[in-house]
Amino acid sequence: MTAQVLVLYFAQSVELTGLKEEELPDVPTPISSRDLWTLLLRRHPRLAALQHHVILAVRQQYVAVGDQVVTLADGDEVAVVPPLSGG
Amino acid sequence: MAQEVCCLKAQLKEKEKEIAALKKKLAQLEKSHPTVLELHDKVTPLTPLTSNPALSNEDIMRYSRQLLLPDLGVRGQLNLSKTSVLIVGCGGLGCPLAQYLAAAGIGRLGLLDYDEVELSNLHRQVLHGEENQGQAKALSAANAVKRLNSTVECIPYHLQLSSDNAVQLIQQYDIVADCSDNVPTRYLVNDACVLSGKPLVSASALRMEGQLTVYNYRGGPCYRCLYPLPPPPETVTNCSDGGVLGVVPGIMGCFQALEVLKIASGHGSSCGQQLVMFDAQDARFRSIKLRPKQPGCAVCGENPSVTQLVDYEAFCGSAATDKCLKLNLLSKDQRITVQDYKSIMDDAGPHLLLDVRPLVEVDICHLPSSLNIPLSSLQERKSEHLQLLQERISELKQQMAGDCRPPVYVICKQGNDSQKAVQVLDKMSGSEVDNIAVKDISGGLMAWAKRIDPTFPQY
Ligand SMILES: [Zn+2]
């Protein structure tokens, strides 16, 4: 099974990917959050700079990058959110 | 006789009028020049916050529009007056936050900042004015807040928050707001809040985005639960590098004020397990539901390894400031001073001056003879830029007799990116472009403005 998801990029991930959002047509599902992150890394290798300090969210829910398995449906939103530290 | 009485009475009335006028004048003067606030340069024990059992008539009038809200009411208002809030950072977030908390009648405000007011702060740090340049931000903010509401107790701290003073300070407050501008301070404030059991209303802003979460609150996560490891320092962008539209921290600081007021009044915050993101470009708020606090967290978990404050600058590998650090990536013979470059320029020898700043900064100011190729384009080997570079190198080679390597001098704002660019260009030299002799101009355009051309703009 695959799903078409909308990936939203925030803060530094916008600079690293050059995108604010993109449609991914054929994301396998169910998929572990680690594999989902790896899939994004393959598309945008520069995202590796954020490894270990990025928040990944699926349908506005935090998912830890690891073994957690997520089931995706067409139109689901995946968000890549690095922290901001400025004030 | 009667006439004399009448006359005296009239005189008396006149004098009374005069006295009333003098009193009024005095009151006005006292109001516009409140008792001088004492700037604290260290943490000292505070007296307990005195609370009124009831609202005075003046309180009722002042706060009437919010007293009418069932969400606040008299009880909520009295709760505000009993609450103390520590604001860490009196900048773009801290200014609007302090302003709304004071306006709403918070009991005590601790205002902490180690910096002085600069002209480049004023577009977003709205409590400070032109006349406050050079003054301690904490004091400038406290004076502004006092003018707004003299009943709020303000304590300005002109000190660097550190592992030695953070717990002692934070213990004395009910709620802490993180309005800081750097990563080490964010970990320090988080850990001190966890160790002291205080809710942490945290916000941040950069460019056109903002984020907000309330940490260590009602079983929700702390900052470390979310970010166990600090980001590598070279991946962190601060406001002085990346820029920020003033109203963005303004919106986030107001949002912090809202959550602080909800906690202080007894209503409670709804952002304890939530990361709220603001996108100013699309004018959109989004929020991500977070996990509860993590049993494995190093500070708030079940077996914490952090049981007292540590060295946060070492932990993060960066200094607790948003000021630019001076990198030292090159050897001495790979760098020249701005004075050296001035003589090269005056001698008019063939060379290439390469400005590696982003275009938006080149638009602000640049040296007339420079070629602009941003560092990121070099790093990504953008073909049109490499072609342009090669063309200029070829031209130089034609101008220069013999087979010597054309000199390329690299400049940026402060001399950090230019060093990175020299490293990239050294790798490219002889393979991706013709052989070149690359050198960094130490200190960049800001050093040029300071030492060579005082009319050159600084930013
Ligand atoms: Zn934690």
The complex scores an ipTM of: 0.95
The region, left, alpha or beta by phi > 0 then psi within -120 to 50, assigned to residue A11 is left
User: Concatenated DSSP letters for B94-143?
Assistant: HHHHHHHHHHHT-SEEEEE---B--GGGTTT-TT--GGGTTSBHHHHHHH
Domains, chain B: 57-316 (3.40.50.720), 332-452 (3.40.250.10)
User: What are residue B211's DSSP bridge partners?
Assistant: B204, B277
Letter for the amino acid at B359?
L
Tokens 């449609």 appear where?
Answer: A23
The pLDDT score that the predictor gives to residue B320 is: 86
Sign of the Cα pseudo-torsion (B297, B299, B302, B307, in order): positive
Q: For chain A, what is the radius of gyration of the CA atoms?
A: 12
Contact state of A84 with B287 under an 8 Å Cβ cutoff: no
Choose the closest CB to A60 out of B91, B209, B288.
Answer: B288
Q: Shortest Cα distance from B40 to chain A (angstroms)?
A: 23
Residue B164 CB-half CA count within 13 A? 5
A44-84: per-residue pLDDT in tens?
999 999 988 899 999 999 999 999 999 999 999 999 999 99
Second CATH level (architecture) for the domain A2-81: Roll (3.10)
Report how far residue B307's alpha carbon sits from residue B299's, in angstroms, rounded to the nearest whole number: 7
The confidence score (pLDDT) of residue B129 equals 97
B113 labelled as ligand-binding? yes
∠B322-B323-B325 over CA atoms, to 5°?
115
> Across the A/B interface, how many CB contacts are shorter than 8 Å?
87
Least CA distance to B177: which residue of chain A? A87
Write out the catalytic residue numbers of B.
Answer: 239, 412
Q: How open is the CA angle B303-B308-B314, to the nearest 5 degrees?
A: 105
Residues in chain A closer than 8 A to B232 (CB atoms): 49
At residue B25, the pLDDT reads: 84
pLDDT in tens, chain B (459 residues): 788 898 899 999 999 999 888 888 877 776 665 557 889 999 999 999 987 889 999 999 999 999 999 999 999 999 999 999 999 999 999 999 999 999 999 999 999 999 999 999 999 999 999 999 999 999 999 999 999 999 999 999 999 999 999 999 999 999 999 999 999 999 999 999 999 999 999 999 999 999 999 999 999 999 999 999 998 887 787 777 889 999 999 999 999 999 999 999 999 999 999 999 999 999 999 999 999 999 999 999 999 999 999 999 999 998 888 877 788 999 999 999 999 999 999 998 899 999 999 999 999 999 999 999 999 999 999 999 999 999 999 999 998 877 689 999 999 999 999 999 999 999 999 999 999 999 999 999 999 999 999 999 999
Provide mean pLDDT across the span A34-43. Answer: 97
Pairing between β-strand B108-112 and β-strand B84-88 as defined by DSSP bridges: parallel
User: Does the distance separating the beta carbons of B287 and A87 come in below 8 Å?
Assistant: no
Question: In angstroms, how far is the first alpha carbon of chain B from the final one?
Answer: 79
The pLDDT value given to residue B394: 94
Ligand 1 mean position to B293 CA, how many Å? 6
**DSSP letter string over B239-286?**
HHHH-B-THHHHHHHHHHHHHHHHHHHTS--S-TTEEEEEETTTTEEE
- pLDDT at residue B235, rounded to an integer: 79
Distance between CA atoms of B436 and B457, rounded to whole angstroms? 30
pLDDT of residue B24: 86
What is the Cα–Cα distance from B361 to B241, expressed in whole angstroms? 10
**Range list of H helices, A1-87:** 12-17, 33-43
- The rounded Å distance from CA B299 to ligand 1 centre is 5
Contacts of B110 (CB under 8 A, 6+ apart): B84, B85, B86, B87, B155, B157, B169, B172, B173
- Confidence grade of residue A9 (pLDDT, cut at 50, 70, 90): very high
- State which residue of chain A sits closest to B234, comparing Cα positions: A49
Distances (CA, A) of B135 to B34, B39, B100, B110, B446: 17, 11, 22, 17, 23
Which comes out higher in pLDDT, residue A21 or B403? A21
d(CA B357, CA B295): 45
